[in-house]
Structure 1
Amino acid sequence: MLGLKRQHADPPLAGEMIDHAAPEEWRVLRLLSLYRLILVAVLVVALKAGFATRLFDNLDPTRLSWVCVGYGAVALALLHLVMRQRPILETQAHLHLLGDLTGLSLMLYASGGVPTGLGTLVIIPVVGGALVLSPRMAMLQAALATIAMFSVEIARRYDRNFDTNDFTATGVLGLMLFGASIAANAVAQRARKSEALAEFVGNEFADLSRLNDSIVSGMNTGVLVVDSALRVRRSNEAAMRMLQLPAGALDRPLSRDAPALAARLLRWRSDGVASGAPIAASGGSAEVVPRFSWLGSGTLSPVLVLLEDAALMREQAQQMKLAALGRLSANIAHEIRNPLSAIQHASQLLAEGESIGEPGNSDQNQRLLAMIQRHSQRIDKIVQDVLAMTRREPPQPTTLLLRDWLLRTAALYHESYRDRARPIELSDMRTDLQVRFDPHHLQQVMFNLWDNAFLHGGGETSVVLVDAGINERAQVWLDVIDTGPGIAADLHDQIFEPFFTTAHQGTGLGLFLTRELCEYNQARIAYRPRDVRGACFRLTFAHSASDRAA
């Protein structure tokens, strides 16, 4: 997000976790140890009660008793190793299977072999090993278990009566062992991958959380998170300082420590309208300007409260005004210096002609006087534009039917230029388009754009087209298009700057004042490059059609 280097490696593969066994994997071996002890206990009880002889036809009670004793001792030894967790998990998994195959094989041999059903007891150890081992080791254990079962049946064939159909049952048991091992290992591998991914994502989330905490804590803007019950759930140091909140303000009602802010928040939640007026902090020594936004989609979602120091905002605004005033003053001085130099030069020439008693050339004097008059008018125009900018009255927006208003305004514009043809064409725009704008300000905007279009758009052959419509955000737009050469691409970012002009008789304030008037009425103006000849300026009005209908 901020270009930081990742502090965590990619999530490890599941097979690589065997040397760093998770507690759940050791729990599998403990359960296997418990399974052995329970199995031995059940067999001993069955032998003592005489149930075993009735269940198994070819049972050797004495041999089975000794097998149970030995298998129980092995189970206790393996349980001790599991509790110590030494040696490592993979080694212990192989030791467990070796003990199980030895004990269960002898148990099957003493009780009648695989057909008795006791062979299914081998499935549990094989599944347990598959849960903690890699796929290759799990398949190896299933193969060893199958070989052990066939070995028991082969040994029984040479020791007593044997039915060849018993091999079929042993083969089916082998298939069951492989199937159970594959299924259990697949589940375990998926669980390990999910666990590794969850741990990786958790670490990433923790890093992002720490990063966000670091960013928020270092912000000069106060940050509060308030839940649906108006309890403060989170805050940074700036918010604590601005509102003078005590150290225990978290999880307490906001109305207890900042009642004015709580009241403003309640109003915003009820009507969705946020006032930009500052509010006093609890101690009354500072003022803050709050801004609210939902952190979720529902009305019960938490609210993010951003607090700006009102005094700091005023100071920054004052600094921006002073900086803008300094730039404007420098530009005004630069723009006035050139015509003043021309006036001074022309005056000196006239004075020199009179001082030496020469009547002078009447045509030359007229040219000098015309120069003085022209540059004086330019200075006067600069002064008028600056005064219009500084003495601007607050806008009085009115709902205007755009097409009708444009027709009237174009007629007024033509009255000012009766001696020159300045054709303005209106497109076939909708007659019901409405905008909210101060009519005097909008008239000045249109006059400036039309003057600019006829000045730079081709002279007497220029035609200005005015078009309007509604964009995808339901906002009305208005285009002023001329038939001139357009504006060079490298000048697009400069045309709205004060005193920027490409015409010798221009002041460079027309488009600047136009943009200021648009922003004053919450509208935007932008230059839109065209694929064909001509320049296009687009006004986008702030209020949507739905807002005006309401």
Structure 2
Amino acid sequence: MSTIASNLTTRNSGGNQSTARHELFFFNYFRLGQAAVYIALAFRPGHLAWPTLPDPLLARVMALAYLLVALVMVARTRQALNHPVLVVSAGLVFDVLAAAVALILMHDVRMGVAMMLVVNIATGSLLLPLRLSMFFAAVASLAMLGHTFFDEQPGSGDREMLEYALFGVAYFASASLCYVLGRNIRASEALAEQRGIDLANLSQVNELIIRRMKTGVLLVDEGNRIHQLNESAWMLMGNPSADQRDLGTLAPELSRRLYHWRTAGKLDETATALADGVPEVVPRFSRLAPNDDSHVLIFLDDTSLLSRRAEELTLSSLGRLSASIAHEIRNPLAAIHYSAQLLAESTDMNDTDLRMVEIINNHCSRLNEIIENILQLSRRERSRPETLDLSQWVHHFVAEYRQGNDLGADILRAVAPGEPVAAVADPQHLQQVAWNLVQNALRYGRMPNEPARVMIVARNSDTGTPILEVIDRGPGIPPKVAAQIFEPFFTTHEYGTGLGLYLARQMSEANQAALEYVRVAGGGSCFRISLTPPARTAASAPVAARA
């Protein structure tokens, strides 16, 4: 019984609970009506001879007891939803008992009592499993047939037994049909509920997609009132307050273009700014339904995003083209460089010729460096971030750099706090970025006729962001030049490629880090990498120091 009850409770949970509540209310109120019928029959006026009551007192006690049970079950209908099988089963037990006693004490109304019990069995089958429904149909049939053995009226046993047998067939038939009906109703409601959930989820997904779109989206009615707008549209319109909904007030130019589009079908595709300090947009209009101007969708295309996408496509195409050209140049360049080296080993060369060979070798090396940067730009690998301790990492980096490069009089030192500075980054990418920045600092970050003084600093910002800085004490970078140093192929040095800082920023962004130039007070330059801190769940994990 407990297993069946739990299964039915699960089956009736969620959307089916509402139907179960309605069925239980109907069942309990019908039982209350049955009790009222028994009360009316048991307390009939004395001058009425029908129905015959062999024991009026017992009949009245039975009717009052059944009325009390019916009232309790009506009052406890809402609480019964937690245990529907148990409550319905208990109610059917009382119904069958009351009917069996009524057949004995009110024999004249036996047909009506048997017919009312059909409704009890059928309604109970809507809520009960099939086995329990058949069980109560069998109990009711046996109760009806068993009454014939106690019937004291002569000559009526065979006729009543046949009548009660037919009622038994009705009990089984109604129980079967109502069980199938209840199962189909629950299946339909479960399907409808699932469809409702799917539609609600789809609506939320669509709303989230529209809200997060880079393109601004507005829904405007025929009265020029804004019904909905996403975050991008809100920002492109100058962050208006929530109570401002009139398009003509918020964006007069956009309202004017919408009016001309609605009346004349003309679309002005020139860029315009809808508010002060926001990017220019190109508006587009679309009806929600054909030939229906009651609601119009307005799309605001941010021209800065379009320009950025065009620039990205251009750089991507340029990178592929440059890589193809670099591959074609590398072989003849290697042959020229090798031939120049062989020529330099000749004993018949004078000083002028040796100088020319040296120039060839220097330019071959420079060209090879450009080719390496271009190839690195085109085949940049995906980052594989790890948790690093920058305090130890900078010391390992400086030691490794000194081993691979002759600093001479130049100074390169690491500055880090005593406690760990945890950050998440790809060690190989971070190594490349720091190597590039240090080389630039040693090459350009020096005062005339003085050695370079470069520091690589690891620290945590005031907000807890891990920071890696490469600082020099050179002349610094003019503001106009600093605004362009991260652009590809921009360089102020005659032997520069213009790709070093661009690659450094690209690798930083691939690691969710930000590379920026900061002018140092008193002279000098600082290239700051703001890295990503480790997640809170991994804060207690040991960090690795990788060079």
Bigger mean CA offset, 313-322 vs 258-267:
313-322
The 8 Å contact of residues 255 and 262 in structure 1, kept in 2 or not, is answered as yes
Q: 1:76 to 1:204 in 2, by over 3 A?
A: same
The 8 Å contact of residues 38 and 63 in structure 2, kept in 1 or not, is answered as yes
- CA shift for structure 1 position 57: 5.2
2:306 maps to 313
1:379 maps to none
- CA shift for structure 1 position 51: 8.6
**In 2, Cα distance between equivalents of 1:271 and 1:323:** 41
Which of 247, 260, 264 is the matching residue for 2:253?
A: 260
- CA shift for structure 1 position 197: 1.6
The 8 Å contact of residues 295 and 303 in structure 1, kept in 2 or not, is answered as yes
- CA shift for structure 1 position 62: 3.4
1:117 maps onto 2:112 in alignment: yes
The 8 Å contact of residues 230 and 253 in structure 1, kept in 2 or not, is answered as yes
TM-score, normalised with respect to structure 2: 0.51
Which residues of 2 match residues 427-506 of structure 1 at below 5 A?
none
Identity %: 28
Which of 272, 286, 291 is the matching residue for 2:284?
A: 291
**In 1, Cα distance between equivalents of 2:246 and 2:142:** 71
2:100 maps to 105
1:178 maps onto 2:185 in alignment: no
1:509 maps to none
The 8 Å contact of residues 113 and 153 in structure 1, kept in 2 or not, is answered as no
TM-score, normalised with respect to structure 1: 0.51
2:215 maps to 221
Q: 1:146 to 1:199 in 2, by over 3 A?
A: same
The 8 Å contact of residues 53 and 59 in structure 2, kept in 1 or not, is answered as no
2:136 maps to 141
Describe the SS at the equivalent of 1:31: helix
Which of 196, 200, 203 is the matching residue for 1:206?
A: 200
Describe the SS at the equivalent of 1:117: helix
Q: 1:61 to 1:287 in 2, by over 3 A?
A: same
Which residues of 2 match residues 326-341 of structure 1 at below 5 A?
none
Aligned residues: 326
Describe the SS at the equivalent of 1:293: strand
Describe the SS at the equivalent of 1:279: coil
Q: 1:297 to 1:59 in 2, by over 3 A?
A: farther
Q: 1:87 to 1:238 in 2, by over 3 A?
A: closer
- The one-character-per-residue Cα deviations of 1:379-437 (angstroms, maximum 9, x if unpaired) are xxxxxxxxxxxxxxxxxxxxxxxxxxxxxxxxxxxxxxxxxxxxxxxxxxxxxxxxxxx
Bigger mean CA offset, 93-102 vs 132-141:
132-141
**In 1, Cα distance between equivalents of 2:155 and 2:57:** 20
Q: 1:74 to 1:302 in 2, by over 3 A?
A: same
2:271 maps to 278
**In 2, Cα distance between equivalents of 1:240 and 1:199:** 35
**In 2, Cα distance between equivalents of 1:194 and 1:46:** 42
Describe the SS at the equivalent of 1:234: strand
Which residues of 2 match residues 47-196 of structure 1 at below 5 A?
47-50=42-45, 53-56=48-51, 60-79=55-74, 81-85=76-80, 88-112=83-107, 116-156=111-151, 158=152, 162-196=156-190
**In 2, Cα distance between equivalents of 1:154 and 1:219:** 81
1:482 maps to none
Structure 2: where are the runs of 5+ without partners? 1-5, 330-547
Describe the SS at the equivalent of 2:158: coil
- 1:277 maps to amino acid: T
**In 1, Cα distance between equivalents of 2:12 and 2:320:** 70
Q: 1:221 to 1:106 in 2, by over 3 A?
A: same
- CA shift for structure 1 position 261: 2.0
- 2:29 maps to amino acid: L
**In 2, Cα distance between equivalents of 1:13 and 1:268:** 60
Describe the SS at the equivalent of 2:292: coil
**In 1, Cα distance between equivalents of 2:314 and 2:219:** 33
**In 2, Cα distance between equivalents of 1:203 and 1:306:** 29
- CA shift for structure 1 position 53: 4.5
Bigger mean CA offset, 271-280 vs 162-171:
271-280
The 8 Å contact of residues 46 and 52 in structure 1, kept in 2 or not, is answered as no
- 1:65 maps to amino acid: R
- 1:231 maps to amino acid: R
- The one-character-per-residue Cα deviations of 1:352-384 (angstroms, maximum 9, x if unpaired) are xxxxxxxxxxxxxxxxxxxxxxxxxxxxxxxxx
- CA shift for structure 1 position 308: 1.1
Which of 14, 18, 25 is the matching residue for 2:20?
A: 25
- 1:151 maps to amino acid: G
**In 1, Cα distance between equivalents of 2:54 and 2:248:** 82
Q: 1:168 to 1:259 in 2, by over 3 A?
A: farther
Q: 1:227 to 1:151 in 2, by over 3 A?
A: farther
- 1:33 maps to amino acid: N
Q: 1:233 to 1:183 in 2, by over 3 A?
A: farther
**In 2, Cα distance between equivalents of 1:269 and 1:178:** 68
Q: 1:13 to 1:243 in 2, by over 3 A?
A: farther
**In 1, Cα distance between equivalents of 2:140 and 2:75:** 24
2:38 maps to 43
Q: 1:316 to 1:18 in 2, by over 3 A?
A: closer
Aligned residues: CA RMSD: 3.9
The 8 Å contact of residues 237 and 278 in structure 2, kept in 1 or not, is answered as no
Q: 1:268 to 1:167 in 2, by over 3 A?
A: farther
- 2:45 maps to amino acid: G
- The one-character-per-residue Cα deviations of 1:291-338 (angstroms, maximum 9, x if unpaired) are 2333334515643322111243245446656776787899999999xx
Describe the SS at the equivalent of 1:176: helix
- CA shift for structure 1 position 169: 2.3
- CA shift for structure 1 position 68: 0.5
Structure 1: where are the runs of 5+ without partners? 1-11, 337-550
**In 1, Cα distance between equivalents of 2:47 and 2:89:** 30
Describe the SS at the equivalent of 2:300: strand
1:248 maps to 242
Bigger mean CA offset, 21-30 vs 170-179:
21-30
Describe the SS at the equivalent of 1:248: coil
- CA shift for structure 1 position 80: 5.3
- 2:69 maps to amino acid: V
- CA shift for structure 1 position 238: 0.8
1:517 maps to none
- 1:137 maps to amino acid: L
The 8 Å contact of residues 52 and 108 in structure 2, kept in 1 or not, is answered as no
Q: 1:47 to 1:98 in 2, by over 3 A?
A: closer
- 2:260 maps to amino acid: R
The 8 Å contact of residues 20 and 81 in structure 2, kept in 1 or not, is answered as no
